[in-house]
Structure 1
Amino acid sequence: MSKKKTFRVEEHETIDDCLNRMKDEGYVPVRRMEKPVFEEKKQNGETIHVPIGREIVFEGKIVT
């Protein structure tokens, strides 16, 4: 088993669900990363990026 693993909060999952999944696999969170998710749309002949959500990823360290 590796010492570090990343866990992505899935589309229909809460942050608590993800943290519980980490715990069930024997990992504890050490870092939380967020990044925005954009969608490209055409408006007046120009391409614009519209925010549609965010992606949350936890980095977990194995519990020893």
Structure 2
Amino acid sequence: MAKKRKERFEVGEKETIEQCLERMKLEGYQPVRRIEKPIFEERKINSNKEYVPVKQQIIFEGLLVEGEQ
């Protein structure tokens, strides 16, 4: 089965960015874009709802290296 030309790789909960980039390299992909999304938590203070950022989700978009197809 042929690999997809573009693939997304999410940095895991206990994984470092360096480990994610190494995993991409082992699968034959080169990072071309980094996406960061904030994860919010809803908290009630008195009768008001507030959305507080809890953590950051990091996703790398990888492009298949030519020789890996």
* TM surpasses 0.5: yes
Q: What letter matches 1:4 in structure 2?
A: K
For residues 12 and 36 of structure 2, the distance between their equivalents in structure 1, rounded to whole angstroms, comes to 13
Q: CA RMSD in A?
A: 0.6
Of Structure 1 and Structure 2, which has the larger fraction of its residues in strand?
Answer: 1
5+ unaligned residues in a row in structure 2: which ranges? none
TM-score, with length taken from structure 1: 0.96
2:53 is equivalent to residue 51 of structure 1:
yes
**Paired position in structure 2 for 1:33:** 35
Q: Give deviations 1:1-20, integer Å, cap 9, x for gaps.
A: 11000000011100000000
Q: What letter matches 2:65 in structure 1?
A: V
For residues 47 and 20 of structure 1, the distance between their equivalents in structure 2, rounded to whole angstroms, comes to 40
5+ unaligned residues in a row in structure 1: which ranges? none
- The 4+ residue runs of structure 1 with deviation greater than 4 A are none
Q: What letter matches 1:63 in structure 2?
A: V
